[in-house]
């Protein structure tokens, strides 16, 4: 499935929610799900510090595709992290670099990506793309 | 609530709320419950009108022109200085310096005092509960001049350990910089005692009054404070304006912080004669409407009365504290008996950011995080807290909305 197709899938899922409570409950459920990252990758190097919450992100290249794993100390942030991983993981560096990620706006959660939110998400997305650029140059 | 029957001035809450336009706003479709007053306070219509009026009718530069507008606004600005002077009971208007805010006031003293009085091996005392703004400027001075930063520890209730403070004071101590009221814990420090102990050894004290002035009547002469600093925006005035009170003796001795227009008597390329106080410390065109707006805010607060405000806010503090304590998993950080209406707490197993995010959806504005007091968070071994801080326009009904919002958030997140 392409990045865009996954984005559309998420937009469809969110359209079923009737109010913000259901939306956030879904994010919280995602956040509560199993750890998204191997404990050994929760290192200082992989830490993206936000003013409010922190994010850990690790990437590796497998068969020409990048696999991301990530985690956060805040559940709602972790839910957002899970969505990002779902959208971007298992795609080629090229696809990731060119992704627009406008699903966040479509599901009405843009405020989590505003710089003032300082939850580490904006920096994480930037890092995901930077990793993709690095893998592309290496290959 | 009507006027008190017991012959004391009390808070006419409905009337007061109507003075603040923003309080009738809806946020995320819900009536705004604004409990982030320790970050910045809302502004009464009178202050907003004063700023509009300045631009519509008064705008001119101060201290410069012979023309009527310039003269009138100079008088208005200097009257604002007198309002601040009287509010703090300072001895002279020229002991009041307009700055950008608390942060700039502290930077000014740290820089100017540091240049003149601090050298290698000297010591500066701060406390464990300081806002970063009252740590970083001193840390910088220490680095530049080879001095040492000493820290007064706090106990588990969030109170300064005075016996440790006494031990820290010595002949190498050059200045003590301490908050009057903790922005995170709400603790009101025994500032008179702290100053008296320092003065016994001829050490001056700077008091960070940013959090204290909205809650407590401050008399700088009674406190014997050498420097007392605060921001306009936490005192229901405009942002971008603040106050540095300094004893005349000290301000005369200190070199200017920034130099430029307005700070001089005569300038040649060889030498500059600096102006007398307060202009020596007020380089450039100031935040004129800010100073005027701040004076309007002070007059407004005084019509309500700081004693009535303190009494009412204490009621809100006690009410909220008692109810919060009944919610399972809630732990209040900062349990001093001497507290203002600032409550920090954590919820067992939950991240403050998550709670703050859900409360925001419910129209409730609280602050989450480390509140610019990371060393304090390290002291308590927590990443951050949720902080609800009340002003005199808040109500018990709003506290009830906040508490049920909190319970809802906990239920969703657990």
Q: Does the beta-carbon distance from A76 to B352 stay under 8 Å?
A: no
User: Is a pLDDT exceeding 60 seen at residue B25?
Assistant: yes
Whether B41 is covered by a domain: the verdict is no
Residues B64, B160, single domain; the answer is: yes
Please check the confidence at residue B338 and state whether its pLDDT lies above 90.
Answer: yes
Of the candidates B282, B302, B322, which is a domain's last residue?
Answer: B302
Note whether B85 and B219 are same-domain residues: yes
Quote the pLDDT of residue A34: 64
pLDDT in tens, A48-57: 877 778 889 9
Could you list the residue range(s) of the whole structural domain that residue B86 is in?
Answer: 49-302
DSSP three-state, residue B347:
strand
Q: What would the pLDDT profile of B170-192 be if each residue is shown by its tens digit?
A: 999 999 999 999 999 999 999 99
Q: Is the pLDDT of residue A79 over 90?
A: yes
Question: Which of B283, B302, B321 delimits the end of a domain?
Answer: B302
Burial class of residue B200 (count of CB atoms within 10 Å of its CB; 0-12, 13-18, 19+): exposed
Mark whether B55 and B110 lie in a shared domain: yes
Stretch B204-209: mean pLDDT: 98
Average pLDDT of the residues in B391-400:
98
Residue B332 belongs to domain with CATH number: 3.90.1150.10
DSSP SS3 for B267: strand
Instruction: Name the band, by pLDDT with cuts 50, 70 and 90, for residue B1.
Output: very low
Q: How do residues B59-83 score in pLDDT, each as one tens digit?
A: 999 987 889 999 999 999 999 999 9
Where does a domain end: B272, B302, B332?
Answer: B302
One domain for residues B183 and B59 = yes
Q: Are residues B197 and B341 in the same domain?
A: no
Q: Region B19-29: what's the mean pLDDT?
A: 96
Question: Left (φ > 0), alpha (ψ -120 to 50) or beta: where does B387 sit?
Answer: beta
Both B249 and B395 in one domain: the answer is: no
Q: Are residues B376 and B406 in the same domain?
A: yes
For A95, half-sphere exposure in the C-beta direction (CA atoms, 13 angstrom radius) is 16
For residue range B264-320, list pLDDT tens digits in order: 888 999 988 888 999 999 999 999 999 999 999 999 999 999 999 999 999 999 999
**Six token digits for residue B227:** 């420097």
Same-domain pairing of B367 and B387 = yes
CATH number for the domain harbouring residue B178:
3.40.640.10
Kindly list the residues from chain B whose CB atom is less than 8 angstroms away from the CB atom of residue A76: 353-354, 357-358
**Full set of structural domains in chain A with CATH:** 3-138 (3.90.1010.10)
Dihedral sign for Cα atoms in the order B380, B381, B384, B388: negative
Q: Are the C-beta atoms of residues B105 and B229 closer than 8 Å to each other?
A: yes
Chain A residue with Cα closest to B372: A51
Active-site residue, A10 included = no
Task: Give me the pLDDT at residue B2, please.
Answer: 42
Measure the CA–CA gap between B389 and B373, rounded to whole angstroms.
16
Whether residue B6 is contained in a domain is answered as no
Residue A114 clears pLDDT 70, i.e. is over it: no
Chain A residues touching residue B353 (CB < 8 angstroms): 52-53, 74, 76-77, 119
Residue B53 domain-assigned (yes or no): yes
B373 and B400 belong to one structural domain: yes
In a domain, B264, yes or no: yes
Name the token pair of B333.
């950080």
ipTM for the predicted complex comes to 0.90
Closest Cα in chain B, distance from residue A94 (Å)? 34
Give the whole-angstrom CA distance, residue B207 versus residue B228.
5
The number of distinct structural domains making up chain B is 2
């Amino acid at each position: 499935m392409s990045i865009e197709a996954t984005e559309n899938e998420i937009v469809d899922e969110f359209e079923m929610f009737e109010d913000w409570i259901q939306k956030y409950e879904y994010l919280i459920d995602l956040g509560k799900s199993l750890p998204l990252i191997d404990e050994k990758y929760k290192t200082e190097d992989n830490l993206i510090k936000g003013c409010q919450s922190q994010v850990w992100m690790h990437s590796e290249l497998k068969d020409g595709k990048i696999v991301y794993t990530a985690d956060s100390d805040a559940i709602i942030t972790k839910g957002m992290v899970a969505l990002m991983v779902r959208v971007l993981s298992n795609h080629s560096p090229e696809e990731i670099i060119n992704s627009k990620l406008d699903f966040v706006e479509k599901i009405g959660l843009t405020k989590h990506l505003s710089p003032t939110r300082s939850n580490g998400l904006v920096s994480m997305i930037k890092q995901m793309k930077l990793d993709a650029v690095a893998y592309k140059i290496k290959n | 609530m009507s006027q008190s029957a017991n012959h004391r001035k009390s808070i006419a809450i409905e009337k007061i709320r109507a003075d603040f336009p923003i309080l009738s706003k809806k946020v995320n479709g819900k009536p705004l419950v604004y409990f982030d007053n320790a970050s910045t306070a809302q502004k009464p219509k009178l202050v907003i009108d004063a700023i509009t009026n300045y631009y519509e009718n008064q705008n001119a530069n101060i201290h410069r022109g012979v023309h009527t507008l310039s003269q009138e606004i100079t008088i208005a600005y200097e009257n604002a200085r007198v309002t601040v002077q009287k509010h703090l009971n300072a001895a002279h208007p020229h002991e009041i310096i307009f700055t950008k805010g608390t942060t700039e006031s502290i930077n000014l003293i740290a820089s100017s005092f540091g240049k003149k009085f601090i050298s290698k091996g000297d010591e500066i005392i701060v406390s464990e509960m300081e806002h970063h703004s009252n740590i970083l400027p001193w840390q910088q001075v220490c680095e530049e001049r080879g001095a040492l930063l000493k820290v007064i520890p706090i106990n588990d209730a969030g109170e300064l350990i005075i016996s440790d403070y006494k031990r820290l004071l010595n002949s190498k101590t050059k200045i003590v910089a301490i908050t009057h009221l903790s922005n995170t814990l709400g603790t009101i420090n025994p500032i008179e005692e702290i100053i008296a102990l320092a003065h016994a050894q001829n050490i001056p004290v700077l008091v960070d009054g940013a959090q204290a002035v909205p809650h407590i009547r401050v008399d700088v002469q009674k406190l014997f404070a050498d420097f007392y600093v605060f921001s306009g925006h936490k005192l229901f005035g405009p942002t971008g304006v603040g106050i540095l009170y300094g004893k005349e003796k000290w301000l005369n001795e200190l070199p200017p912080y920034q130099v430029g227009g307005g700070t001089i008597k005569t300038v040649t390329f060889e030498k500059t004669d600096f102006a007398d106080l307060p202009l020596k410390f007020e380089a450039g065109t100031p935040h004129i409407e800010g100073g005027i707006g701040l004076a309007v805010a002070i007059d407004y607060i005084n019509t309500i009365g700081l004693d009535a405000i303190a009494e009412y806010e204490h009621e809100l503090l006690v009410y909220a504290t008692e109810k919060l304590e009944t919610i399972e998993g809630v732990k209040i950080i900062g349990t001093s008996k001497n507290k203002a209406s600032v409550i920090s707490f954590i919820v067992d197993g939950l991240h403050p950011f998550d709670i703050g995010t859900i409360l925001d959806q419910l129209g409730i504005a609280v602050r989450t995080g480390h509140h610019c007091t990371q060393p304090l968070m390290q002291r308590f071994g927590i990443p951050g807290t949720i902080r609800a801080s009340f002003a005199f326009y808040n109500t018990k009904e709003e506290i009830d909305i906040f508490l049920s919002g909190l319970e809802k958030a906990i239920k969703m997140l657990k």
